[in-house]
Amino acid sequence: MATLRGFGNPLSPSGRAALVDDPPHHISADAIQVIYRVDPDKARAYLPDGLDLHPDALAYAYVADMVKVSDSHPDQAWTEPQWSQYQEGILGLYCTYQGQPGRFSAYIYVSEDWSVVFGHFMGFAKKQGVIHKTKIQPANPAFGPIGPGSRMRGTVDRFGRRIFNVDIQLTEKIDDDAVPSHGHRVYTYRHIPSPSPQVPDQRQLFALDLDRATTIDAWKGTGGVEIFTDVINEDLDGFQPLEIVEAYSFQRGWTTKAGATLLREDHR
């Protein structure tokens, strides 16, 4: 009798062929995040039942260079650097569940397949994208050191189309905890369609509390968001910015475990 191993497919005798490594995953981000106001009537339509939009109708646009080290492969960043790196772009909404604040990422674009699939397992709405973020190397004669006035842009493309830009111009260094965290609580909505009429689809709302979250190198700035609504396989109207509220640049780290709390299950 076979004993097939792995966190997910492909299962194999040793387990080492799985697309996604066993969690926990130690994650970190070198990020730009712009918080902005959207039309609440349009934005609500993107929230799963149970989540209430932030009273100020706050959305966020985020682009980051990411590192993931699987707990089961502590030397991963060293032995095969490609496996530990990805880029990520997010459009999401701040919200509450029964009064408890958090965030819901309605669209997540990542560069790597394993991250897309891990997202679908966890309830993160991921697709693959081509993501870039300004890289300021202070030794470059064209740059000064990173400081007030430095400008950075994050860009997300998919299928040869620009999806969104997120911009920041730094104004001041701030304390690490001055970057709003909304409880480091992430709401995810898992929708796993079924291959068979005999098996129901799964639609589950989860809360995932990020473990060991740390923020460093935080800056505040002026920001901008540009959403390209002519992209025909996206549905981004509810994310058009009405007003920019805040813009941040920071480094953040945390650990993602398969330890989410099930909040509700929807049946159709």
Touching its own copies, residues 236-265 (CB under 8 A) = 236, 238, 251-255, 258-262
Task: Point out which span in 47-55, 94-102, 177-185, 219-227 binds its own copies (CB under 8 A).
Answer: 47-55
Min CB(113)–its own copies separation in Å? 4
* Pick 99 or 195: Cβ nearer its own copies: 195
Within residues 58-117, the interface with its own copies by CB under 8 A covers 65, 67, 69, 71, 74-75, 77-85, 106-108, 113-114, 116-117
Least CB distance to its own copies at residue 195 (A): 4
**Considering beta carbons, is residue 149 or 172 the nearer one to its own copies?**
149
Smallest gap from Cβ 68 to its own copies, in A, equals 8
Select from 64, 7, 4 the least CA-distant residue to 258: 7
For residue 207, which amino acid is it?
A
Binding residues among 168-207 for its own copies as defined by CB under 8 A: 188-199, 204, 206
Binders of its own copies in range 112-151 (CB under 8 A): 113-114, 116-117, 119-128, 130, 132-143, 151
Which residue number, 29 or 225, has a Cβ lying nearer to its own copies? 29
Find the binder of its own copies among 157, 180, 183, 226 (CB under 8 A).
157
Instruction: Give the containing element (helix H, strand E) for 133.
Output: strand 130-133
Q: Which of 41, 100, 172, 212 binds its own copies (CB under 8 A)?
A: 212
Choice from 55, 177, 232, 243 touching its own copies (CB under 8 A): 232
- The first and second tokens of residue 233, run together, are 């396989």
List Cα–Cα distances, 66 to 55, 102, 134, 161, in angstroms.
Answer: 30, 21, 14, 22
CA distances from residue 127 to 38, 156, 181, 252 in whole angstroms, order as listed = 23, 11, 24, 22
Q: How far is the CB of 246 from its own copies (least distance, A)?
A: 20
| Cβ within 8 Å of residue 80, ≥6 positions away | none
What are the distances in angstroms from CA 144 to CA 137, 151, 182, 248? 9, 11, 33, 19
Which of 42, 40, 33 minimizes the C-alpha distance to 235? 42
Determine whether 243 is exposed, middle or buried from the number of CB atoms within 10 Å of its CB (0-12, 13-18, 19+). Answer: exposed
| Nearest distance from C-beta of residue 116 to its own copies, angstroms | 5
